[in-house]
Amino acid sequence: MAADLTPAERQVSDVLLRDYPVAGLTSITRLAEAAGVSTPTVIRLARKLGYGGFPDLQAALRDEASAQIRTPILKRDGWPENRSDSPAFQDFAQAVFANLEGTIDRLDPASFDRIAACLADPARHVVLSGGRITRSNADYLFNHLQIIRPGVTLLSPSANVWPQYLLDMGPETVLVIFDIRRYERDLFRLAEIAKAQKAEIVLFTDQWGSPVTKLSDHVVNALIEVPSSWDSTLAINLIAEALIAEVQTRRWEDAKTRIERLEDMFKTTKLFRKQN
């Protein structure tokens, strides 16, 4: 098959194989740019691989990614028989992985690409906030983005200090909100004021959708139900971690410099134990 490909098509193939299957889940424009070719070249490659076009290739890649998640964890015969806690753990894990699979199926690659572009844009200031449960998700994304790029702020848990942050929000601001049931009034009001100041809003929410959805420019709907009194945010973190990886890729030269400087600071402060 490789012998039938043109040099340009092989460039696309190399990019796909280097970061498989994630590279193929970005937009066709993004994939073409990464390979240094035109978008028609990507379409021709997809057709040579036996697909009707690039959307069909992406659909196959999404199915394969879902299958990788399902196997072997969701197979009943993959669980140890002699563990007394296996049935309960298995039920919970099956629910979580069903959430991951459903979230992947719902995620539009073009939407993911647009969110990554916002978060990677050095001209944009990124502000993050979460609710009582989802603040940990906001904090996780903040900690990683802060290393990769400058201009990232995590809002205080106290809504009464938000106005001073809102004061500087504008069209150059990307406000990232995490809000799942029970949806929080303070987060809706935050989005409302930020929207009035023309900030771009990215929302991570559940399958039903926070009221903030109607104010948002980009929405990630993740499945959260599990056999527990609390909802699971693992599917939300799956998308957050994928975005962290994509933003780092887009800003690699700057990110590499920042990471190296940070590592030097860690060595100076002896914050971490020496690794062998």
Number of CB atoms found within 10 A of residue 26's CB: 22
Low-confidence ranges of the chain (pLDDT < 50): 69-78
Q: What is the pLDDT of residues 62-85, one digit of tens each?
A: 777 665 544 444 444 445 555 555
The tokens 């009034």 sit on which residue? 185
For 2-67, CATH gives 1.10.10.10
Nearest 10 degrees: CA dihedral of 170, 172, 176, 182? 20
Instruction: Judge contact between 146 and 96, C-beta under 8 A.
Output: no
CA dist 57 and 45 (Å) reads 10
The tokens 């929207």 sit on which residue? 195
pLDDT of residue 17: 77
pLDDT of residue 65: 67
pLDDT of residue 79: 52
Question: Which amino acid appears at position 241 of this protein?
Answer: E
pLDDT of residue 259: 87
CA dist 236 and 134 (Å) reads 9
Q: Is this prediction's pTM over 0.85?
A: no
Q: Per-domain residue ranges for the chain?
A: 2-67, 71-106, 109-261
The third-level CATH classification (topology) of the domain covering 109-261 is Rossmann fold (3.40.50)
pLDDT of residue 73: 43
CA dist 149 and 70 (Å) reads 34
CA dist 94 and 103 (Å) reads 14
- Give all strands of the β-sheet with 200-205 in edge-to-edge order: 152-154, 125-130, 173-178, 200-205, 218-221
CA dist 51 and 13 (Å) reads 14
- CA angle (196 as vertex; 195, 197 as ends), nearest 5: 85
Question: Which residue in 103, 71, 141 sits closest to 226, CA to CA?
Answer: 103
Output the CA torsion sign for 191, 187, 221, 111: positive
CA dist 249 and 255 (Å) reads 8
Strand partners, 201: 175
Report the length, in residues, of the chain.
276
pLDDT of residue 76: 45
